[in-house]
A = this chain, B = another copy of it.
């Protein structure tokens, strides 16, 4: 009988939990709000209830092998502790693996959420077959995971790659991290909204006449499809910034490709041209045509598929 796994992607706003088979296919999923105003203990009870329901759906009365949890923060994987999650106040030094393991009677493994995303896209999605690959998520922030030589890269500090805070140059907009000019001030969903509002306030020509705070990447995507110059300029700017940072990473590491994922890739058709132009003008490690610029195939299932892969391949140190 095929093995099944539980996987969960915890975001600051929503949680997605799934029952995943050995091939990374999500057989069933639950989506529920994080409700971060409640205590970690209460939220974990919520999680356990959803995961128990999903576990009961395992075929032929089977039991999932283990649970992988993707978290938007810093973890100590060996100890199974969530150290800190910027968008989840109160979640500090939470022994989450132990608590969830006791609630579900399953081994539990924690991992950074973008690392799970990268594993999923690499093993089951758009990045299949590329052993040197960067996966970038454009969401509230800009996250990333790096596959080097056919392995998830963790570095010396067991962290995900901080691609969102790579600098675009001196100056620039203030970032949530306290510095200026980080990639995510321009290329994240938040950054694109900020840029849109700023240009709206400066009176740039646009057909948009709604409230500034509702000028989201999704709204700008619709506007761009109608040729709106402000929306097109925002995506062009995001693409240029991504191209600048990605070319630096290609030149540094000689990786073969990048997979772009996350909510803001809905508008990829408008981001791609300036991204590619900016990238191709700066890559010197190889001819640009040797590089693969790919879009996520699994979307929000990527971290779930990645979680199952992590458990299946035993790519962690605690069970």
Residues of A bordering B, CB below 8 Å: 131-132, 146, 148, 153-159, 161-163, 165-170, 177, 179, 181, 244, 247-249, 251-256, 281-282, 284-286, 290
Contacts and interface: CB of A to CB of B under 8 A. Distances in A.
In the A-B complex, the 10 residue pairs with the closest CB atoms: A169-B169, A155-B254, A162-B251, A156-B256, A157-B254, A157-B286, A132-B156, A166-B248, A161-B252, A159-B254
B166 A285 contact: no
B179 A252 contact: no
Secondary structure at the A interface, as helix, strand, loop or mixed, is: loop
Nearest to A249: B252
**How many chain copies?**
2
A162 B284 contact: yes
Given A169-B169, A170-B169, A251-B165, A177 B256 contact: no
Contact of A285 (B146, B155, B170): B155
Given A155-B285, A253-B155, A256-B156, A167 B169 contact: yes
Given A169-B170, A177-B284, A285-B159, A154 B249 contact: no
Choose among A154, A247, A251 the residue with the greatest number of B CB atoms under 10 Å from its CB. A251
B132 A155 contact: yes
Choose among A158, A168, A247, A285 the residue with the greatest number of B CB atoms under 10 Å from its CB. A285
Contacts of A158: 254
A162 B253 CA distance: 8
A159 B132 CA distance: 14
Contacts of A155: 132, 253-255, 285
A308 B255 CA distance: 28
Nearest to A170: B169
Contacts of A146: 252-253
Contacts of A244: 167
Nearest to A181: B169
Nearest to A168: B169
A253 B255 CA distance: 13
A299 to B, nearest CB: 25
A185 to B, nearest CB: 14
Contact of A154 (B153, B159, B177, B254): B254
A186 B282 CA distance: 18
B254 A166 contact: no
A154 B252 CA distance: 10
A248 B167 contact: yes
